[in-house]
Every structure is written in structure tokens, then in C-alpha cells.
Structure 1
Amino acid sequence: MKSFVLACAGAILLVSCGDSGKYYEKSSQEVASALKSAYLPTHVLGGTVAGSRVSQPDSNTIVTALLAQDGSELMRFVTILSPDGAGTRVATEIRPPEGRNKDRATQAMEANGFAMGMMEKLAEEHVTAAIEGRPFDMTFATPPMAKGMMGAMPGMSKQIDAANEAAAEFSRHQQQAEFEQEYGDDWGRSAGDASDGWGE
């Protein structure tokens, strides 16, 4: 239950720099491609979140859904892309799912403000790392002072990175194995569209 509450935390939450979103010097097509191919390390959210699925309902919207063990949605990161000159402004909202878990997720999100900050940081780090083409920072929720102390300890950062990468790799293989068991080897199905009915 605690991990479900954590996964469904926060009322609709905007992760952006200003009302128009954070600016990146990349085209909307490049940003969309990066987000659709990015891996979300769901193991940091506990055992209730079994994986994620990405869809693109329209050219300027990318949806990353967090999935329960039975494949149903727990919550979703909805990223809106707004072309701005040669670049793109990006804003991400945390929303409840549109399927059978919507009411329960909405209630959990409204009742658990404590976890809102962590979910905001998770969504922001996922989107930023994907667009910038760098690994997900597993210390995304660590206060700056603590990060500084960790960095000052010889070998600590490498040990943490190695442990998190091992956990992430295990999670990736587990998700792929579960997907292939259910759907075959069509792992590329994650990029859906408005007609796939995902979350219903």
C-alpha cells in the first residue's frame, strides 16, 4: 500500500520552468524520440510499480504510464512539447490514469502531499535525463548538501552508481521478460497512439 501511495502521490503536478515549460535547443521531433526511447527506473518506486509504457497520443504529447503487476496503470507522466523557434519548451504533468484505477489514484494523490516532492523530482529527472541524453541520476531525491558529502567520500559515488545500475539492469530485464511472456518479442510496442485504448 505504501509503495502504491508513493507511486500515486500528488495532485496534478506541473514540472516545468515557468508556465511555458523548460526550453531545450532540440526540435520537438528530437525531444519526442528521446522520451519515447528513455528507460524509467521504476525499481526506485518499490515493488508495486512493475514497469512503464510509453505512448504518443498526438505529435506534441508523450505519455509515460507507471504500471502495476497486473498491467493496469497507477499514474502517468504527461509531457507536452511546444515548438519554440529552433527549440522546444517541455512541461510535464503528473496525472491519474484514465482506466479503472483513476478514482483510487486520484484520492491517493490528493491525500498524500508528502510524496509530491519526490514524484516531481522523479518526473523532472526522467524527462531531463532523456532529453539531455545522459543516464538517470539515481540520487535525484538527495538534498544538495548530502550529495556534496557523498561526493567527498572516496569511491562512494562510484559504488552508489554501480549498485543503482545493477538494480536498473535487473529491472529492465525483468520488464522485458514479462512483456515478452505476454506479448511475444515485440518490445517496440511501447510507442502507442490515441487508438490503443491503453489504461482503459
Structure 2
Amino acid sequence: MRDDLGAYLSVGPRVGLRPFSLDDAEEFTARARESRELHAPWLFPPQTVEAYQAYARLLIAEPTRTGFLVCERADGRIAGFVNINNIVRGAFLSGALGYGAFAHAAGRGLLSEGLGLVLAYAFGPLGLHRLEANIQPRNTASRALVRRAGFRLEGFSPAMLFIDGAWRDHERWAITADGAARGTGSATVA
């Protein structure tokens, strides 16, 4: 696939960021199935077309959520995704992140670059002030990702989220717009 800059909301050197689309169901679910081992026990993205369509519809239609596909500019393949959930406007201007890299892209820095683009977009066009990532303490890759992006550890929440059949402890990591402005790499926002 040709690198069509017009298809992206934001671009970096190796990845482009675009919104979820119902047309991405086949590729997204194939990548999710290929990545089961990588994602378990932390993350369970939709693995069927029907599940993906329900998931994508929420990200597209709900004003309290938005989702981004991180795509490799070289060939357009979906490398991962970053969602902003629980968006609160007013005095809070905040959201909670969910994200994952797919197995073929893991360890290549593509999700790090994509997260930087999401931060620039969230703190720019979306007008948010703060983003939070809640991470299970043993998920070292996820903790390293947010640390590289400039997030700070704010606390620990026992039995915070019900994941994979049990209530799981989570660390709360956060970044604000001014923190991101001091620590984010280069990005072009459309």
C-alpha cells in the first residue's frame, strides 16, 4: 500500500495514525489472532469480525471514546492501536488510554511512535489536559512504553479492573499536556 499522507490524522517518521473504520475488521482481527500469546494475560482485543464491528462502532460513535490505528507508513499495515476511553470534558479534560501492539510490530518502536502521535493529537485537536494509563504491575513492556512517553507513576489501585476472570491490581500512570510538551518527539498533526 502506498503511503497516503491524506489518510492519516497525524504522521511520524515510520507510522501514521488514523481512526478506526468498520472496513478494518478483517486485518485487525487477523492481527489480533496472531497476537494472542503476546497480549495474554493483559489484553483481549476482538478476534472476530462481529466483535470488531461492535468494538469499532463504540469508538466511532461514542463521544466519550475515540480510537486510533497505528499503521506502518511503508505498507499501510496495522501495527497496533491506541484508544482514549472515559473522556470527560469540563474542568477535568481527561481520558484513559488502552493500547496494544500486534506481534509483527512488537519490539520495533512503532507503538512508541504511535503513542507520541496520540499524545500530540489528544493534547492538540482533542483539547484534553490529562491522560491516564492503568497498567498491571507485571506488564513490564506496557510500563516501559508509558515511561518512555513521559508518563509519571501516580499510584497503585488494588483490584481495580476485572480482566481475564479476576480483579487485577493496577498502577496508575498519567501525563498532562504540559508534561507531554516537554517530553514528546516530533510529530506532524493534520
TM-score range, shorter chain: 0.3 to 0.5
Greater strand content: 2
Greater helix content: 1
Which structure has the larger Rg?
1
* Greater relative contact order (CA < 8 Å, ≥ 6 in sequence): 1
TM-score normalised by length of structure 2: 0.34
TM-score normalised by length of structure 1: 0.33
